[in-house]
């Protein structure tokens, strides 16, 4: 058995947008574990249309880092743990080494992942329309001074051997690549056992982080391995982390580093556990297998729901800031890419607006919004217990159904969509992509509001706010940076491992 780390969790949101990617070789079969897209290069490009000073950013069609898995040659199967974990796949699936590759992903993650890819392609097209198509030949900026600048800005520069590797910067995939990728997908349900290659049994269980996110169990004749990406014990929307199905597996590949981005206090705790993210080489350490007497006591500790109460409190705080902004007559722009947070935010904001009888329209401007919102109301078996109860009580699963019906929430695919102007009224609250502030409607709206100090921009921490806001200077808009729960808290890792009782943990 051999594990190679292809990329560590990158970008903001504790690896939510770009989870780690690994290559696992087992009994001669190569498994790729997650293949996210690395958007870190995007920050170095100026958003279009250009307005005034680009702030030293590159003015060209952006390029993207090719997933490191390309260099590893072919793989036999890809196990995907989340919708974001498959966004890099269209880069690969057309390559010769991937002709017979099967991609295993949960039904819901696939259903959410595909529109995410399509939306990315669509938003990228705006650049192409502005600059003309990107040819395969290396564009001018790649030779000049600007490249170094890009490297210094992009955090990727620290990874060895990558600096001068221009071949890794490629144009985005096409809609055809997306289709091709989706053809290889074998969608599964939680708890479904699939046989791969005759000797492996693969099983996805819920990880609790997001709708359709999963952990994977790989059972080979000689060992059982758990691939444990970021997990949340009790969720406010997705089905809770099903850790009991991972019990007694021999090896755990623990790739949840979200807690590293948390507070210092957590970090200190983590260091005691001698985990080190920067050292991406294999770090094995054996966990003492205790006899289970006190393992049962740990269960209530790991699955108590402080985390989610905290999360709701955090989102409530954001709501109160939003409320303050709209009350003063400013609009609010929320370019957050997390489906779960968006769904919760919508419910809480509308509650708050309702209780104050303030009438402010909420817009979601995204090509995928209609599809995804309709979809979220039809997947009761993937949701947390309290939302499943809504099904049994005959209520809509999420608050947005009611909001749409009452005309408090509007969904539009584009800013220039028919009917948007008629419905548009400022102040308003807008949720739209993209969190990088380089793509999508967020760019245009931020241009519109950046000089108004009554307005509010809500962004996620860790996305490099300074760099991403650079082209919008000077800034008067208020900026609220917030972080969300995106994995197991450091303090809970130890008890969790105690319950799972693996022989080895790989970090």
Query: Closer to other proteins at the Cβ: 149 or 250?
Result: 250
Bridge partners, 24 (sequence order): 3, 31
Bridge partners, 18 (sequence order): 10
Query: Closer to other proteins at the Cβ: 47 or 433?
Result: 433
Minimal distance, residue 394 CB to other proteins, in Å? 6
Query: Closer to other proteins at the Cβ: 189 or 289?
Result: 189
Q: Largest alpha-carbon pair distance within the chain?
A: 67
Query: Closer to other proteins at the Cβ: 3 or 112?
Result: 112
In whole angstroms, what is the distance from residue 345 CA to residue 204 CA? 28
In whole angstroms, what is the distance from residue 311 CA to residue 235 CA? 9
**CA distances for 343 relative to 373, 390, 497, angstroms:** 9, 15, 31
Both tokens assigned to 412: 């539009």
Beta strands in 315-428 (DSSP E): 332-334, 362-365, 409-412
Binding site for other proteins (CB under 8 A): 188-193, 203, 245, 370-371, 374-375, 377-381, 388, 391-392, 394, 396-397
Minimal distance, residue 118 CB to other proteins, in Å? 12
Query: Closer to other proteins at the Cβ: 477 or 499?
Result: 499
Angle (CA) 352-358-362 rounded to 5° is 75
Q: Are 174 and 180 in contact, with CB atoms under 8 Å apart?
A: no
- The backbone region for 171, taken as left when phi is positive above 0, alpha when psi lies in -120 to 50, beta otherwise, is beta
State whether residue 24 is helix, strand or coil: strand
Minimal distance, residue 380 CB to other proteins, in Å? 6
Q: Which of 73, 85, 381, 368 is nearest to 215 (CA)?
A: 85
In whole angstroms, what is the distance from residue 453 CA to residue 272 CA? 44
Minimal distance, residue 374 CB to other proteins, in Å? 6
In whole angstroms, what is the distance from residue 433 CA to residue 115 CA? 13
Query: Closer to other proteins at the Cβ: 180 or 370?
Result: 370
List the end-to-end C-alpha distance of the chain, in Å, as a whole number: 15
Minimal distance, residue 219 CB to other proteins, in Å? 12
Minimal distance, residue 190 CB to other proteins, in Å? 6
Minimal distance, residue 195 CB to other proteins, in Å? 10
Q: Are 169 and 65 in contact, with CB atoms under 8 Å apart?
A: yes
Do you know the residue count of the chain?
507
Residues ≥6 apart with Cβ < 8 Å to 340: 209, 210, 211, 235, 236, 237, 238
Query: Closer to other proteins at the Cβ: 45 or 398?
Result: 398
Residue environment code for 387-424, b if the CB has 16+ CB neighbours within 10 A, otherwise e = beeeeeeeebbbbbbebbeeebbbbbbebeeeeeeeee
Minimal distance, residue 191 CB to other proteins, in Å? 4
Query: Closer to other proteins at the Cβ: 188 or 477?
Result: 188
Query: Closer to other proteins at the Cβ: 266 or 402?
Result: 402
Minimal distance, residue 107 CB to other proteins, in Å? 8
Query: Closer to other proteins at the Cβ: 142 or 391?
Result: 391
Residue 222's CB is within 10 A of a number of other CB atoms, namely 10
Query: Closer to other proteins at the Cβ: 114 or 124?
Result: 114
Minimal distance, residue 140 CB to other proteins, in Å? 42
Bridge partners, 31 (sequence order): 24, 77
Q: Are 465 and 368 in contact, with CB atoms under 8 Å apart?
A: no
Minimal distance, residue 375 CB to other proteins, in Å? 6
């Amino acid at each position: 058995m051999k594990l190679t780390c292809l990329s560590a969790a990158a970008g903001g949101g504790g690896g939510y947008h770009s989870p780690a990617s690994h290559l696992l070789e087992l009994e001669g079969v190569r498994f790729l574990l997650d293949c996210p897209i690395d958007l870190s290069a995007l920050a170095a490009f100026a958003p279009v249309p250009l307005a005034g000073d680009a702030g030293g950013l590159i003015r060209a069609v952006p390029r993207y880092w090719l997933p490191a898995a390309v260099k590893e040659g072919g793989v036999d199967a890809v196990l995907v743990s989340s919708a974001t974990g498959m966004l890099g796949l269209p880069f690969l699936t057309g390559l010769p080494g991937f002709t017979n590759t099967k991609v295993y992903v949960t039904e819901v993650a696939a259903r959410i992942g595909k529109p995410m890819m399509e939306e990315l392609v669509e938003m990228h097209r705006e650049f192409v329309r502005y600059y003309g198509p990107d040819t395969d030949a290396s564009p001018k900026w790649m030779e000049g001074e600007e490249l170094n600048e890009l490297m210094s800005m992009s955090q990727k520069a620290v990874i060895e051997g990558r600096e001068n590797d221009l071949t890794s910067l490629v144009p985005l995939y096409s809609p055809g690549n997306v289709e091709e990728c989706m053809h290889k997908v074998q969608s599964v349900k939680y708890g479904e056992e699939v046989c791969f290659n005759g000797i492996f049994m693969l099983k996805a269980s819920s990880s609790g982080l997001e709708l359709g996110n999963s952990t994977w169990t790989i059972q080979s004749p000689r060992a059982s391995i758990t691939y444990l990406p970021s997990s949340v014990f009790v969720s406010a929307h997705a089905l809770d982390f099903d850790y009991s199905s991972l019990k007694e597996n021999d090896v755990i590949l623990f790739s949840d580093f979200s807690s590293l981005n948390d507070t210092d206090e957590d970090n200190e705790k983590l260091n005691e556990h001698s985990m080190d993210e920067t050292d991406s080489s294999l770090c094995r350490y054996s966990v003492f297998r205790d006899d289970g007497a006190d393992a049962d006591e740990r269960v209530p500790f790991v699955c108590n729901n402080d985390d989610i109460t905290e999360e709701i409190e955090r989102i409530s705080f954001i709501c109160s800031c939003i409320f303050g902004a709209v009350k003063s007559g400013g609009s609010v722009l929320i370019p957050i890419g997390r489906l779960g947070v968006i769904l919760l935010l919508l419910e809480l904001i509308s509650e708050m607006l309702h209780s104050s009888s303030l009438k402010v329209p909420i817009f979601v401007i995204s090509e995928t919004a209609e599809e995804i919102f309709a979809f979220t109301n039809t997947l009761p078996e993937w949701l947390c217990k309290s939302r499943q109860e809504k099904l049994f009580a005959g209520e809509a699963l999420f608050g947005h159904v009611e909001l749409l019906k009452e005309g408090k929430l509007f969904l539009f695919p584009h800013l220039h969509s028919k009917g948007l102007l008629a419905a548009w009224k400022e102040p308003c609250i807008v949720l739209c992509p993209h969190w990088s502030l380089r793509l999508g409607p967020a760019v245009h709206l931020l241009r519109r509001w950046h000089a108004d100090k009554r307005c509010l921009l809500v962004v996620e921490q860790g996305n490099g706010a300074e760099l991403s806001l650079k082209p919008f200077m000077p800034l008067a808009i208020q900026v609220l940076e917030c972080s969300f729960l995106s994995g197991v808290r450091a303090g809970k890792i130890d008890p969790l491992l105690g319950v799972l009782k693996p022989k080895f943990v790989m970090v």
